[in-house]
Structure 1
Amino acid sequence: MYNNRKSFIVKSLIILCLIYFAVHVIYSNGNIITELQLSGRSLASLDTQNIETAPLIQEASGVQITTSNSTKLQPSDPVVGEEKLPAPPPPERPKTEPTVSEKIKEITQCLDKPFVPKTQQRGDYWVLYNYIRAERTFKCEETVTYTTHADYSFMDNLVPLLERWRAPISIALHAPGTDFAYTLESIAHLRDCTSSLVRELVTFHIYFSTKHVPKEVPKHNVLDEPYNCSLTPPYLNVSSDQMYKAQKKLLYPVNVGRNVAREMAQTHFILPSDIELYPSPNISSKFLNLIATNTGPLQSKNPKVYPLHLFEVSANSQVPVTKTMLKDMLSNGTALPFHKNLCPGCHNIPKAKEWQLAPETKDLHVFHVGKRNGKFIHWEPIFIGTHSDPLYDERLSWEGKSDKMTQGYALCVLNYDFLILDNAFLVHKPGIKIYKKDSKRAMLAGKTNQLIKKIIFPELKVLYGVRKGCAV
């Protein structure tokens, strides 16, 4: 009986010890969890499978745990129960300055134009638009296009013009009858045997009267076979009497060519000019840099164009490259204002003397804002403009003169500002023009004046209105 009681007591003590030990372990582990939470350590990294209970040492300060192969807890890990903070955003990239082209696009809001060949009738003329295309294409904001006109006898001017311009050229060539074949040969020679810039930058359009259609008109971009460069090109040493136009006594439809070349230009800004007028170098890039500033008179609400000063030089003179060189030539008499001996009022540009005295500067600026009125009422400016400017009246011919006067009237009535550029100019192919009496041309000029007075001018007044100080 005693043994049974003793055995029961021993068993009871063992059970109580086990219960006490279990409670103590649970309590001790709770302290560990609390300490880990307070210290910011992650329980997720604690390998509880490796906790050894044997070497637990009870001390006054609590319980220490020795683990084997356990992962060290990192102070940077988040506390259990706390939300993980979002990663900080990446640093902003510094904003880059817009390019000149991007600024031009923003200012003009221009749209790119298609660059495809097409054949269409235009009044009394057939036009082969984009007949021989340049290899390069351009976005509307990229550059400025020089637009011009000619027949094949003037095509010796294309290379010297292009080497100074070095930007796209759109040229409309009058090629009626048998002149068409010579025109094609001239284009082929220029593309294959002269400057590579011709093939790269020049687009040719061809037009002719419906009454003088060539016997054969090949498809667009017909110049597949290389030209024999040992042959003399038709445009060299040709006399006007040899041409179909002269033999058939045709007038030169100058304004048809001007408008065709203008309308086909891919760029927003264009310089409608004559093929014998050579520009000072780098006008295109300098002009776009000016436009990109968008300050001063450039912000005027009035429509605007940008006239260039025109000059001519003696036959044996070099065409000036800089304004400083031009000023020296004006001083020694080897250069003079354009048409000074023929029609000084036609190119009497505002502030001309002040412009000639002003020193050359590095970039391009607006020298003066003029108007086509007062002393300049018959001014025929050549300017950088846009496709929005009035076109030229296609009823007027080169032989009849006054071919730009009607456009000048429209610009005046529409209150255009003429923002004259300070360091850009055009120089005619060397050779000072002198007045020669031409009775036939005088007769045609008289007929043109009557056409303008009785028919065109009344139309302009209806279409554009009138403004004090404006005249054709």
Structure 2
Amino acid sequence: MAMFAMFQRSRLGKFIIFLVFLVIVLQVFHMSLLTRLEAKEALNRHKGPVDRQLKVNTLPEIVDDMEEKVRNSHRLDYSGTYHVIANLLTAESHDPGQNRDDLAIVTQCSSNHLHHLSHLSQVWDGPISVTVFTFDNNIETALNHIVKLYLCREKIRKTTSFHLVYPLDRAPRSLSESWKAVNSCEEDMSVDREKAPNYAIEGIEYPQNLLRNLAIKNSATSLVFMVDIDMVPSENLHGDFLYLWRTALKARGNETKDTVFVVPVFEVKEGVTVPDTKPNLIGALDRAEVRPFYIDPCSPCQTFTNYPKWVSLTHSKGMQVAYYINWKYSWEPFYIAAKGMPLYDERFKQYGYNRISQVCELHVSGYQFAVLNNAFLAHRGFKRRGDFHATKNQELTKNKILFTKFKDELKVKYPNSTGTCL
């Protein structure tokens, strides 16, 4: 009987232990459910109905972090004129502690042109670093568009990092809660936005070189590709160039240290599909649907790339350096370069000489220009001489005077150089 009683107590003890364990498990499960419910309620306080693409507890964390950076950042540019916020929102792949052997597109725009990122991110397989310019309470529009692109476009979320700049004398007067609302991922962000070009913001000089430098400095890659945000790179440009770089160019060391790799640029007639490969591009050229970029407003700005020679190259699948070009006055090619090249002079604002001055310094400092055989950029729409903003000529004259001073400064900066900007 004693042994039977002991056996019964043993079974009872095990049963009690099982019940205690079960209660603990149920409590943990209950707490988990409450946490999920609180997160969902917090999300709903920040927004209305949201597309299924958005992750449940992502939006509150993102907008709170962005708001904190906007309210508490106090960094200025070198002139003390602009407020700069680096890494306002970073890509999931961004690693600031690692200078990756990768190639990033670096670009800039105002909030009116942010929608171009949707297409750019779809055709570009690498990282993107973009600086956004804003002013007054336009900052709420800019922040809302950034959040929407980040949350609603998976490719942008994975690859794109955003930076923000605004002039101190046009700082946002307030920051309401309305910018945090992301009601739908289906809203067309491009509607009526192109009617406000970057250079036509009343009373504000658009500091494109400051924006470019901020995007370059905060790219977490060793190679950068400076483009306009409304340009489209050719198919597989990212992967093909990296293969060339890692298998051929990088091994040559100092031979390519001071080389930039020129990517020819074309503009595509309105309503025509943007070519994605060189054979498609040449076909469109033959049909007069495509032409060299900027050929009407400023032929010398791009023509020295030697488009006839580039088009006539023997077709090959791989990417190679096709030929080299000596820099000539007014030439402002788009190119890929290793970080460390001379940055853009931030005194140049608005229209004129902002890119020519930087390419001129590349030339004077000893860089060579190598044209790639199969890579190209395409701009949607023809650039026409009469389509520019009203103050273009005044800005061009002002920046031409600054460029004269800039050339004299280069003689002091590079006293042993035989290169000139004439």
- Point out the more displaced range, 337-346 or 118-127: 118-127
Of residues 220, 225, 232, the one that matches 1:266 is: 220
Structure 1, unpaired ranges of 5+: 1-116
Do the aligned partners of 1:308 and 1:421 also contact (CA within 8 Å) in 2? yes
1:327 match: secondary structure? helix
Match of 2:343 among 391, 397, 412: 391
- Name the counterpart of 2:142: 183
The answer for the alignment partner of 2:403 in structure 1 is: 452
User: Which one of the candidate residues 365, 379, 402 is aligned to 1:428?
Assistant: 379
User: Which one has a larger percent helix, Structure 1 or Structure 2?
Assistant: 2
Q: Given the superposition, is the C-alpha separation of residues 277 and 247 from structure 1 closer, same or farther in structure 2, using an over 3 Å criterion? A: closer
Give distance in 2, aligned partners of 1:466 and 1:253.
31
TM normalised by structure 1 equals 0.68
The answer as to whether partners of 1:240 and 1:246 remain within 8 angstroms in 2 is no
- Structure number with greater Rg is 1
Helix, strand or coil at the partner of 1:121:
coil
Q: What pairs up with 1:304-319 in 2 under 5 angstroms?
A: 304-319=259-274
- 1:291 aligned to 2:245? yes
Tell me the distance in 2 between the aligned counterparts of 1:229 and 1:438: 33
1:393 corresponds to which letter in structure 2? D
Q: 1:141-156 maps to which residues of 2 (within 5 A)?
A: 141-156=100-115
Please identify, of 347-356 and 285-294, the stretch whose mean Cα deviation from structure 2 is larger: 347-356
State the identity %: 25
Q: Give the corresponding residue for 2:322.
A: 367
Structure-to-structure mapping, 1:224-263, within 5 angstroms:
227-229=182-184, 232=187, 235-238=190-193, 240=195, 248-263=202-217
Which residue of structure 1 lines up, in the alignment, with residue 94 of structure 2? 137
Instruction: Please give the alpha-carbon distance, in whole angstroms, between the structure 1 residues aligned to 2:390 and 2:202.
Output: 19
The code of the aligned residue for 1:199 comes to R
Gaps of 5+ in 2: 1-68
Q: Is 1:403 equivalent to 2:403 in the alignment?
A: no
For 1:203, which of 161, 165, 183 is the aligned residue?
161
Per-residue deviation, residues 56-82 of structure 1 (Å, max 9, x unmatched): xxxxxxxxxxxxxxxxxxxxxxxxxxx
Q: Summarize deviations over 1:334-381 as a string: whole Å, max 9, x none.
A: 001101111110112344312101243211111012221xxx332101
Q: 1:318: Cα distance to partner?
A: 0.7
Please name the residue that 1:334 is paired with.
Answer: 289
2:20 maps to what in 1?
Answer: none
- 8 Å CA contact retained: 2:101, 2:223: no
Q: Which has the higher contact order (CA 8 A, sep 6+)?
A: 2
Question: What pairs up with 1:345-364 in 2 under 5 angstroms?
Answer: 345-364=300-319
RMSD in angstroms over aligned alpha carbons? Answer: 2.7
- Matched residue type, 1:134: A
Distance 1:443 1:242, change over 3 A: closer
Q: CA deviation at 1:267?
A: 0.4
Q: Give, in whole Å, the separation in 2 of the partners of 1:250 and 1:466.
A: 39
Are positions 1:441 and 2:392 aligned together? Answer: yes
User: Which shows bigger deviation, 388-397 or 297-306?
Assistant: 297-306
Contact 1:156 1:236 in 2 (8 A): no
Partner of 1:93: none
Q: Which amino acid aligns with 1:405?
A: I
- TM-score, normalization by structure 2: 0.75
Q: Count residues in correspondence.
A: 345
Give CA deviations for 1:155-209 in whole Å, capped at 9, x if unaligned. 121111111112110000001111111001111221233x310111111100011
Counterpart of 2:342, as a letter, is P
CA contact (8 A) 1:172 1:261 kept: yes
- What is the match of residue 125 of structure 1? 82
Give the C-alpha shift of residue 457 in structure 1: 2.2
